[in-house]
Structure 1
Amino acid sequence: MKITGYRSLHTVHDWGRITGDVNGVQTGNTTPVPVLIIETDSGIEGVGLGAHTDVARVFPAIEGEDPRSVVALYDRMLDWVFKAGHSGATFGTIGAVDMALWDIKAKAAGEPLWRTLGGRERFVPGYASGLEYGLSGPELADLFEQFADRGFKAAKLKGGRDLDRDIPRLEIARDIFSRNARRPAIMLDVNESWNLAQAARNIAAIEERMDLTWIEEPLRRWDAAGMASLRGKVRTAIATGENLTGLEQYRPLLDANAVDIVQVGNVWGITHFLRVATLAHSRDLPVSPVAFNANPVAHAAAAVPNLLTFEVQDLHFPVGLDVDQYFDDGGIILGDRPGLGIIVDESQMSPAGSAPALLARTGPHIRPERAALRLVAEPDIIDVPAVSVRPAL
């Protein structure tokens, strides 16, 4: 079997609502979903999800190769771009290609990827996470009720700008998921919006009101010394790592004992997740993947010994993707369809180059100018509806 070509496609995920975090909120209800198809001479095709803007530069590293040599080809792609480096968009491209190659490998074996990777169980425990920063209190409650109906016992909220807004929202989530667990796990993701002093003060204020399971990305992603210091000041666990690319970026955090929960961005692919999970396991640390469309890394998560929980951002899938998984009992239940279990309906998609450019001036992927430099809570840069606190049950 040989790799012969690729197709780059574009679809969208329709959330039916706005999404965002402390850095900004999307202007509409849909977000782009890049889809990469890797072709072979056997007719088996692999599906990779995620931005792959560097695919023309990376593809020569794998062209003509046997896709089943996926681990070796992952390293070959890293070597191919070594002079310019493998961070950012290039690492995302490698992740999308890697995902497609694993899909081909499992399809060639006639089994789901979780089985190819050595998983014993198809169930992947998860937590609810809706990128819900722009929702009002009642809208937030309605969203999390849908997750609670599927048995979820844990939730993560976005915040970090104003505790008077964040704490009531955390309490809304706690009350909802209390119907499934005596002590539901409630987490807060502030997306690198605090400095060390702010983080220590704000977390202490939250912990006066409720138990917080983890604080996610409280400081800049590379601030190992700061996060190590913060660990000694708060009760909650420190979770970070979703934006790190390559094992070398995790080493300072692990060497400084700066992290309790090692996170991995799904967008970086299967092999990267497996390697980070092994690295974390060597330190007796749990790993938790950060979600992405159709949850492809859930297959790998099912096969590692130190999985803590998997982020689930929505209960639906992008337009044109038929995904063999469903949500129940507080997690993801993977199916038996070979590979990633994703069937692509290309009639509902467009070639990648035909997708309109996103000209957002703000949004969850753009860091605000005054992040971590606000002396007092300020009105948001977006018009977020006031919180309506959910009555006690």
Structure 2
Amino acid sequence: MAGDGYLQEHAIVAHSPTTSAIATGAKHIMKISRITCSAFRMPLKQAVSSSRVTMTHRELVVVEVEVDNGEIGVGWCTTAGVGAAAVHALISGYLAPMLLGSDPRNTEQIWQRLWMECHAAGPGGITTLAISAIDIAMWDIKAKNAGEPLYRLLGGARTSVQVYASAINLHLSMEDLVEQVRAQSSDGYTAFKIKVGRPGLYEDRERCLAIRKIIGDNGCLMLDANQKWSVGEATQRIRILLDAAPLFIEEPLLSDDVGGHMKLRNATGMPIAVGEQLCNRFEFWNYVHDGATDYLQPDVWKVGGITEFLKIAALGAAAGLPISPHGAMELSVHLAAALPNALHVENIFGLNLFDFGATSGPMAIANGRYVLGSGRGHGVTFSAAALEEHKLSLGEAIEREPLYAFS
């Protein structure tokens, strides 16, 4: 990737190290010599809608970290269509220069430096997206240096993981939703997640029961409300969805409302999943501590990368809660394969890296499972030509429709 040139415009180069690396007992202290960052705005093949958001683009920030032996690590984060330019500015203007000369294998040390540097600006959101992209690149280098695939370096609990079919599909008619799930089932998937939050009280119930009929009693059905409801409305609506026997419902309330999720869980008996909107282990701990969730869904490129993801997974393991990684399929397969309490991985149709055009080939998912390979690092290679066409013009206004529609 380093020779492709698509990230060369915003490179931070160490002509002489500005930070001394800490020796770890290794014969060679590896040093970061260059960090390159670029941002892209990728149009989706078609607009997709959940209960709160209509998405037309996916934004992507890619970071390359090169070390003095020529090894290159690649990290990235994505957004729903807002914020990539801000993440790029934070990385290029503030974070990348302070890491030149550091040893990328010291992932915890680097993460703590980035976390404290960004904490006053906010312990989540743009800051953790930026930290994530950098941290993922560091782990890629670390695995490559060890000569191992990332999942094995992280723990190697298994060599294959279940992948479930997911999509932003609330806008689909009943007929189109049924056809979508039938096609996913024909491709070998046995677990599925669909959106809920239609206006009519019984619309969601009818759609869920129709999908249950297709996938059968042994199929796994998950629901996602995308923070649509209040506690009272969610209580009413969830009770009439119980007949579809979902594994869980994701984000029925605003993710800020820990107490509301606890009340809802106790009132309905429906298992609750949260994490897509949470940005660090402290936010996850609030849910775990208060007994407000049954499944944790950290997104590796939102929570601060692999270093923080592992700590969130440890919280879940201590509380007996499964980890169901949110999105980020290309990295989540490594994380799920590494951790004993990881349940499965989400393939969001239309929003994985290949589907929105960032990589040149799809992941080899067969019969709803992905088998991890033996290649070094995470193995993700971006398509330079495809990305270059959609590079963000930083500092210019972006013509777009708002994500959220208010009536």
TM-score by length of 1: 0.84
What is the one-letter code of the residue matched to 1:19?
A: V
Cα distance in 1 for partners of 2:259, 2:227 equals 15
Alignment partner of 1:41 out of 68, 78, 92: 68
Aligned to 2:316: 280
Distance 1:281 1:87, change over 3 A: same
Partner of 1:191, secondary structure, is: coil
Tell me if 1:63 matches 2:100.
yes
Aligned to 2:59: 32
What is the one-letter code of the residue matched to 2:364?
A: Y
Cα distance in 2 for partners of 1:210, 1:198 equals 18
Shift of 1:237: 0.3
Distance 1:135 1:42, change over 3 A: farther
Give yes or no for contact 1:38–1:101 (8 Å, CA) kept in 2: yes
Cα distance in 1 for partners of 2:222, 2:251 equals 11
1:179-201 Cα distance to aligned partner (Å, 9 max, x none): xxx33221211111111111110
Give yes or no for contact 2:48–2:171 (8 Å, CA) kept in 1: yes
Distance 1:120 1:282, change over 3 A: closer
The percentage of counterpart residues that share the same residue type is 31
Give yes or no for contact 1:324–1:341 (8 Å, CA) kept in 2: no
Aligned to 2:285: 251
Alignment of 1:1-393 (within 5 A): 1-11=30-40, 16-27=45-56, 30-50=57-77, 51=84, 52-53=87-88, 54-56=90-92, 57-162=94-199, 163-178=201-216, 182-207=217-242, 209-268=243-302, 269-292=305-328, 294-314=329-349, 317=354, 318-322=356-360, 325-350=363-388, 352-354=391-393, 358-363=398-403, 366=404, 368-369=405-406
Cα distance in 1 for partners of 2:358, 2:273 equals 33
Shift of 1:11: 5.0
Moved more, 226-235 or 167-176: 167-176
Distance 1:80 1:31, change over 3 A: closer
Partner of 1:251, secondary structure, is: helix
Give yes or no for contact 1:112–1:338 (8 Å, CA) kept in 2: yes
What is the one-letter code of the residue matched to 2:377?
A: G
Shift of 1:118: 1.8
1:26-68 Cα distance to aligned partner (Å, 9 max, x none): 34xx533332222222222111121433212222342211111
1:263-282 Cα distance to aligned partner (Å, 9 max, x none): 11232221221110001111
Moved more, 1-10 or 75-84: 1-10
Cα distance in 1 for partners of 2:369, 2:130 equals 28
Moved more, 223-232 or 314-323: 314-323
Shift of 1:109: 1.8
TM-score by length of 2: 0.81
Cα distance in 1 for partners of 2:295, 2:40 equals 32
Partner of 1:336, secondary structure, is: coil
Shift of 1:205: 1.6
Shift of 1:313: 0.7
Cα distance in 2 for partners of 1:341, 1:142 equals 33
Cα distance in 1 for partners of 2:349, 2:44 equals 7
Give yes or no for contact 1:10–1:33 (8 Å, CA) kept in 2: yes
Distance 1:242 1:314, change over 3 A: same
Higher relative contact order (CA 8 A, sep 6+): 1
Moved >6 Å (runs of 4+)? none
Shift of 1:88: 1.1
